[in-house]
Structure 1
Amino acid sequence: MSVTATTETGLGRQLWRQTWPMAIGVLSLLGMQLVDSAFIARLGTRPLAAQSFTFPLSFLIIGFQVGMGIAIAALISRALGAGEKQRARRLGSLVLWVGGLVIAVLTIVLWIVHEPIFTRLGAGPRSLALIRSYWAPQLLAAWLGALLYFGYSLFRAHGNTRLPGKLMVATSVINLALDPLLIFGVGPWHGLGLPGAAWATALAFASGLMVLSWRLQGTGWLARRGLITEARQSLRDFMGIAGPAMISQLMPPLAQMLAISIVASLGEASVAAWGLASRLETLSLMVVLALTMSLPPWLGRCYGGGDWQRIESLMRLAVRVVIVWQLGLGLLMTLGAPWVALVLSGSPEVRGDLAILIRFLLPSYALLGVCMIVVSAGNALGWPLKAMLMSGARLFICYLPCLWLGTQLGGIHGLAMGAAGGNVLAGILAWRVYRMTRNRDRATAGKTT
């Protein structure tokens, strides 16, 4: 066996150890969201469509928290790679305080302006009434989930992926137990209906946050002094990563708003099917999402230490894993599309549209996954602006134009084919950009050594 093969085998084992806890955690967390939608689907098409209208704004909150998490994980991992442990502690404290405040302000704003936004997205009066009862507890759940995510980012930056993975599983189990009780009730109590799903999530996240806070005590990862000075000194570095990363993460919610307005032209059943397909998308991308959490801190430490050879090996390995996994899963889900749709929805019309979306979209996530890996790597390797531009190109040059054109030409079938085509184009474009940037950086590093 060659030295390169031996090295990649060792990296593969390390990457597996770092990624599998996050993969299981992401699977359980995304499964929790899918279970929410499956339970809500039993309430009828209108509650499911009402929940689907909230997805873009929920993704908006997630975009802010993920952008901040990417930045802080990158800065902490670089600081640790450079031996700056005290700075890493100060950065850890800052993300918990500032991140929680930013997300709290955002949720308040989204509550104030929710009615005109949902109206613009195509929600009718009856859907708006359902959304109004659901949106307040859902915003609370989003804030608690953001705090939990910032804690996960802190653990990941220190190389601990097991605790976040375990807590994701635990919160998902709690949510699964509470969902039927709060949505449908028990005995003479009839339950809360649609808002019950949001309250179940909020209680699950609150439980996880209590455990996370307890485990943070005694780690020595947080600091109480020098935070204001550190905030001033690190603001430029933080915004240099967080700014483009947030814009990259905020583009998908904006694209989802535009996408759901396109889908709304096909009817309420198509909106409901699109919402379920969105949940399936995130669930099927669990390995990719786990890699985007476990890989960047490792890449950041390599970047801080100037180890470009290991960076290149890690990227090749990650892309191979993504393509093999997503193609295999996509083909399997394509064959089982009618049965998956039957499990997730009680409406025949929604089931038919969902089966069509599954057949076309799931295999295309192999190339979408490549794009996501490249974007997450760019934030860790000092290419945040390029990563942001790649995200923008994926959504507004590849995805949305294909989605709109497909819908105009072929209804639900055209919608599915257009979305799949946009994913394929995005993956090809992202990999070409990565190779060009890699070659440029390799040449620059060779000149400086």
Structure 2
Amino acid sequence: MLAASTQQMAGLGKTLWRQTWPMAIGVLSLLGFQLVDSAFIARLGTVPLAAQSFTFPLSFLIIGIQVGMGIAIAALISRALGAGEKARAKRLSSLVLMAGGAVIACLAMLLWAFQMPIFSLLGAESNTFGHLRSYWPPQLLSAWLGALLYFVYSVFRAHGDTRLPGKMMVITSLINLALDPVLIFGIGPWPGWGLPGAAWATAIAFSFGLLATGGRLWKRGWASREGLWQEGRQSWRPFMGIAAPAMVSQLMPPLAAMLAISVVAGLGESQVAAWGLASRLETLSLMVILAMTMSLPPWLGRCYGAGDWDQIHRLLRLALGVAVVWQLTLGILLALGAPWLGMVLAGNPDVQDELVLLIRFLLPSYAALGVCMLVVSAGNALGWPLRAMLLSGARLFMCYLPCLWLGEQLAGWWGLAAGAALGNVLAGLVAWLLLRRILSRPHRQARVNAG
């Protein structure tokens, strides 16, 4: 019995590895080039780096909406494929590309029209406005192109292909890496564009990725032009049933990021710059967790459809164990190397000191944050999106932000870093307790729904 259980876990581990590693490499490269962007911009000075940091919450807002839509469309397409409805899956693919692109375009235009009032509310000072005016339009363009590319990736993942999205994330990251120094600093007689050059480099890289993956999508016959209006009328209710809670869950982090950076802004520009670099480092250090949140839901969804709750239990135990061990080990190692990381990422000595403190407190706490992220992802896949949304809200507005604000009030920058870390630990504990409570009721599992 024990040998069979061990063999099952080993088999699950191999499958989890095969599903996750392409996305992990892709996420690593994608987040890596964002960190490289910030490292290059840090060489321009503290004010440009602070200006870029003020755009992060709004960029996360766009990403939140696109991820929520991507979760819904991947779920619907995978269910259609499981039911043998290939024609419907093609129509859904076309619909998400058209409707999703239109929604993100409208949001980008609104964020451009109201940019100055929004940045003022976030705490931006007058010396950063000039940089924001030149940087924000190309950054919004790159965000729109990135959203379209993400929707294409979602279609591929719904069909069980994680390799091509992972490969394209690496390629677009390398293109961005090559263009960054040229467009930011210039080359030879051609002057650089400064801060806007980073956004244009990303826009060019995403354009290449969109052309390459879009062509492959059409060649595989995974999209269709026929019957889109009727499919839209039929699918909008189930789509919104998944997408609405998922989008709310994804929109909470940018809202929390806006509130957090408004607290940080009261401490000074070097603190804002360090916070922006730490935000980039956070997403990079969570690459394995982010990859699992992409690879696990289709697998969990198939188990949920088959009513195989034993497999769900085993899979979640394995995923959470990997998350804790990996993140805790990585966090401790990076905390030990914090002075070196601060020197590499930040050009200003003041920013380096502030960043080192954040790394030492925050990165080990991401082991608990990873648990919370995986439980939220599992909730969307297993038929409790409302619970997942409420857990996201509790993490941010009952654990993270109150601890961060209280720490800043009591002990300034040191207290803010410690409070943010404590908030992550509390969120992980709440998520683990919630998951245990739900999965300990086998007689109710088959009847759990969005409520």
TM category, shorter: over 0.9
Kindly report which structure 2 residues correspond to 1:36-185, keeping only aligned pairs within 5 A, or say none. Answer: 36-185=37-186
Change (3 A) 1:445 1:56: closer
Equivalents in 1 of 2:433, 2:173: separation in Å? 37
Residue 353 (str. 1) matches residue 357 (str. 2): no
Deviations 1:72-115 (A, max 9, x none): 11122222233332322221111111111110111011100111
Distance 1:172 1:445 in 2: 41
Distance 1:188 1:398, change over 3 A: same
Distance 1:17 1:242 in 2: 27
| C-alpha distance in 2 between matches for 1:60 and 1:319 | 27
Q: Which amino acid aligns with 2:366?
A: Y
What's the counterpart of residue 406 of structure 2? 405
Shift in alpha-carbon separation, 1:192–1:446, aligned structure 2, 3 A: closer
CA distance in 2, matches of 1:82, 1:437: 28
Q: Could you report, residue by residue, the CA deviation over 1:218-238 in whole angstroms, capped at 9, with x for unpaired residues?
A: 322222222222211211111
Question: C-alpha separation between the residues in 2 aligned to 1:445 and 1:130?
Answer: 52
Q: How far off its partner does 1:428 sit?
A: 0.6
Aligned partners of 1:80, 1:8: CA distance in 2, in Å?
27
Contact 2:307 2:446 in 1 (8 A): no
Q: Which amino acid aligns with 2:393?
A: G
Given that residues 82 and 305 in structure 1 are in contact (C-alpha distance below 8 angstroms), is that contact kept between their aligned partners in structure 2? Answer: no
Question: How much does 1:445 deviate?
Answer: 5.2
Cα deviation 1:306-331 (Å, max 9, x = unaligned): 22222221111110111011000000
SS in 2 for 1:222: coil
Query: Per-residue CA shift, 1:193-225, capped at 9, x if unaligned?
Result: 000000000000000001001111232222222
Q: Which amino acid aligns with 1:379?
A: N
Q: Distance in 2 between matches of 1:340 and 1:120?
A: 31
Cα gap change, 1:388 to 1:293, in 2 (>3 Å): same
Per the alignment, residue 195 of structure 2 pairs with 194
> Which residue does 2:365 correspond to in 1?
364
Offset of 1:446 from its aligned partner? 7.6
TM-score for the superposition, normalised by structure 2: 0.97
User: For the residues of structure 1 that align with 2:434 and 2:77, how far apart are their CA atoms?
Assistant: 27
Query: What is the rounded CA distance, in whole Å, between the counterparts of 2:188 and 2:86 in structure 1?
Result: 55
Hey, what's the Cα distance between the residues in 2 that align with 1:278 and 1:391? 18
Q: Deviations over 1:272-321 (max 9, x none)?
A: 00000000000000000000111111112222222222222111111011
2:424, 2:118 → 1: CA distance? 27
AA at the equivalent of 2:225: R
Change (3 A) 1:356 1:25: same
CA contact (8 A) 2:439 2:445 kept: no
Contact 2:57 / 2:257 at 8 angstroms: preserved in 1? Answer: yes
| Distance (Å, rounded) in 2 between the aligned partners of 1:15 and 1:183 | 40
Shift of 1:170: 0.2
Aligned mates of 2:372, 2:447 — CA distance in 1: 29
| Structure 1 residues 360 and 74: CA distance shift in structure 2, 3 A | same
Equivalent residue for 1:423?
A: 424
Letter in 1 for 2:377: S
Partner of 1:221: 222
Q: CA deviation at 1:25?
A: 0.3
Q: CA deviation at 1:447?
A: 9.4
SS of the equivalent of 1:71 reads: helix
1 CA distance for matches of 2:3 and 2:86? 37
**Partner-residue secondary structure (3-state), 1:273:** helix
Q: Secondary structure at the residue paired with 1:2?
A: helix
Give 1:401 shift.
Answer: 0.2
What corresponds to 1:28 in structure 2? 29
Provide the rounded CA distance (Å) in 1 between the counterparts of 2:187 and 2:258: 36
Question: Can you give the 5+ residue segments of structure 1 that lack an aligned partner in the other structure?
Answer: none
Q: Which one-letter code corresponds to 1:144 in the other structure?
A: L
Whole-angstrom CA distance in 2 between matches of 1:446 and 1:142: 39
Report the AA paired with residue 250 of structure 2: Q
Task: Give the match's secondary structure for 2:70.
Answer: helix
TM (norm. structure 1) is 0.98
The count of aligned residue pairs is 447
The answer to whether the 8 Å contact 1:361/1:420 transfers is: yes
1:223 & 1:437 partners in 2: Cα distance?
Answer: 40
Name whichever of 3-12 and 143-152 sits farther off: 3-12
Could you tell me how far apart the structure 2 residues matched to 1:444 and 1:29 are? 40
1:308 and 1:69 map into 2 onto residues whose CA distance is: 25
Letter in 2 for 1:132: R
Are 1:300 and 1:380, in contact at CA under 8 Å, matched by a contact in 2? yes
CA RMSD, 1 decimal: 1.3
Greater than 6 Å deviation, 4+ residue runs: none
Conserved? CA contact 2:24–2:288, under 8 Å: yes
Q: Which residue does 1:10 correspond to in 2?
A: 11
Aligned equivalent of 2:444: 444
SS class of match (1:217): helix
Equivalent residue letter for 1:295: L
Find the counterpart in structure 1 of residue 323 from structure 2. Answer: 322
